[in-house]
Chains A and B, each alone.
Chain A
Amino acid sequence: MIDYSEYLSFLCSALESQNKKKLILSENTSLVADIGLSSLEVMEFIEKIEDHFDISIPLNILPDVNTIGDLATKVRQLNL
């Protein structure tokens, strides 16, 4: 079973191409406020995660996702 840190590591590495500010990404990095992802870029990123883990991420979870750590937790729950 994949643990939280592995999800976090994947998400950080998958975000690098959209990390235009060259931030040091961590679980506390905000997808919108810090990285500056637009709503369209958030959805593109979600699709990347879905394809990688072969899961579907419901839109319902997005209001609870602010940071990379929030997303790692949700993806782990979905992929259990």
Chain B
Amino acid sequence: MMFDKFKPMADFQAELAERSVEPFGAITEKILSATEGVVQGRNVILAGTNNYLGLSFDPRCIKAAQDATALWGTGTTGSRLANGSFAEHQALETEIAQFYGVDNAIVFSTGYTATMGMCATLAGPGDVILLDADSHASIYTGVKLSGAEIIRFKHSDPEDLAKRLRRLGDRAHQTLIIAEGIYSMLGDVAPLQEIAAVKREYGGYLFVDEAHSMGVMGATGRGAAQAAGVEADVDFFCGTFSKSLGAIGGFCVSRHAELAAIRFCINSYIFTASSSPSVIASTREALRITAAEPELQAKLWNNCNRLYQGLKSMGLPVGPTASPVVAVAMEDRSRTIDCWKALMEAGVYVNLVIPPASPSTNFLLRNSVSAAHTSAQIDAIIAAYAGLISAGLITGTQAH
């Protein structure tokens, strides 16, 4: 039967309902600020939102969105290639290109359609795509649509990448290498200096998804490649407006003038409606603030370090370095769900991640940090985890 394959998911949903837990698609009934909301009837600290710079409630961004709605209406009602390219969209493309110091940019309606569309279009039949094994679902979906030969390299392993490029011989030159800046689930930063060096040695094109690193890393907030000093080696940058910039949308920027022709070949760009003017306007303002106020990034990292050290000092299994994403790895599904529920009851909303969304067999309690979190809120998050230890749900040295 067609629906048989969904039974395991239906069973899992029934198990969650029986335990009165609703971790997936939990309804936010009210947003009180960039870091507080009412979720499932509880006032909670939002520690799973990717609102890295806290700009979703910046009054300047809100004002820009309000003004744009009054000026342009609520929606474009059409594709970028038809009636949906307003002057606002064009202005954002100019500004995001300037932000990255390149001449070419495409703005998409979501980050997912940006990475998926670029990955589906850049390489085609006869080409090769070498992607990091822990790549985001949008990348996997895109490469499957490309028609190219798809090969994975071990996660953040430049030696494995080099080995695979060597095996390709002359075909290395027609290979698209795909990496991310910060990986979304564990918050680890890609070794882009080493990856760029491998690309220089063997050839190919380098594509970096800065979805979780734009606004978060680099002297002017361009992301992990800027922080690593290898932007000149990157052929294509993709990213999103739905994290640091507090809105929704995606982009690709490149020094390659061919991006102008590529734009007309991307189905996820052509056959979808363009972003509402309000979204574009708040994004433009958020981009301006990101460039003008580097102190936001400094505040974010202070909070990252505070949360990371707090959880690590209790012996919780967090990643190797501090990051805006701090994930606690768990081995037991049922125990992880209990922990998620207990954190909610303690007034902290985090993301519950289960395989295959997590990159291994582990379950994750995924925390994301914001520049808008106060020190007291970070300490409250840490205290909530201490409560899990006190309740015997996890031990301080090793999660169950």
Residues on A lying within 8 angstroms of B by beta carbon are: 38-40, 43, 47, 54-60
B299 at the interface (CB under 8 A from A): no
Cα–Cα distance between A58 and B168 once the two chains are bound (Å): 12
> Are A39 and B167 within 8 A (Cβ)?
no
> Are B150 and A60 within 8 A (Cβ)?
yes
The 10 closest A-B pairs by CB, nearest first: A59-B150, A56-B151, A58-B149, A56-B164, A56-B167, A58-B151, A58-B150, A60-B150, A60-B149, A40-B361
B315 at the interface (CB under 8 A from A): no
Residue of A40, A54, A59 near B167 (CB, 8 A) is A54
Known: A54-B163, A57-B151, A59-B152. 12 other contacts (CB 8 A): A39-B356, A40-B355, A40-B360, A40-B361, A54-B167, A56-B168, A58-B149, A58-B150, A58-B151, A59-B151, A60-B149, A60-B150
Cβ–Cβ < 8 Å partners of B149 in chain A:
58, 60
Measured CB to CB, the closest approach of chain B to A11, in angstroms, equals: 19
Residue of B nearest to A40 (CB): B361
B60 at the interface (CB under 8 A from A): no
Q: Mark B347-390, 1 if CB is under 8 A from A, else 0.
A: 00000000110001100000000000000000000000000000
> Are B356 and A43 within 8 A (Cβ)?
no
18 inter-chain pairs at a CB distance below 8 angstroms, sorted by A residue, are: A38-B361, A40-B356, A40-B360, A40-B361, A43-B133, A43-B152, A54-B163, A54-B167, A55-B167, A56-B151, A56-B168, A57-B151, A58-B149, A58-B150, A59-B143, A59-B150, A59-B151, A59-B152
Q: Please classify the interface of chain B as helix (H, G, I), strand (E, B), loop, or mixed, using the class held by over half of its residues.
A: mixed
Cβ–Cβ < 8 Å partners of B152 in chain A:
43, 59
Cα–Cα distance between A40 and B360 once the two chains are bound (Å): 7
Cβ–Cβ < 8 Å partners of B133 in chain A:
43
Query: Which parts of B130-166 form the interface with A (CB within 8 Å)?
Result: 133, 143-144, 149-152, 154, 163-164
Measured CB to CB, the closest approach of chain A to B129, in angstroms, equals: 9
Cβ–Cβ < 8 Å partners of B144 in chain A:
59
Residue of A nearest to B166 (CB): A54
| Most B CB within 10 A of own CB, among A38, A54, A56 | A56
Residue of A nearest to B164 (CB): A56
Residue of A nearest to B356 (CB): A39
Cα–Cα distance between A59 and B154 once the two chains are bound (Å): 13
Cα–Cα distance between A57 and B128 once the two chains are bound (Å): 12
Cα–Cα distance between A23 and B351 once the two chains are bound (Å): 39
Cα–Cα distance between A47 and B164 once the two chains are bound (Å): 12
| Most A CB within 10 A of own CB, among B133, B151, B154 | B151
Measured CB to CB, the closest approach of chain B to A38, in angstroms, equals: 8
Cβ–Cβ < 8 Å partners of A60 in chain B:
149-150
Cα–Cα distance between A56 and B150 once the two chains are bound (Å): 10
Cβ–Cβ < 8 Å partners of A38 in chain B:
361
| Most A CB within 10 A of own CB, among B143, B150, B168 | B150
Residue of B nearest to A58 (CB): B149
Cβ–Cβ < 8 Å partners of B360 in chain A:
40
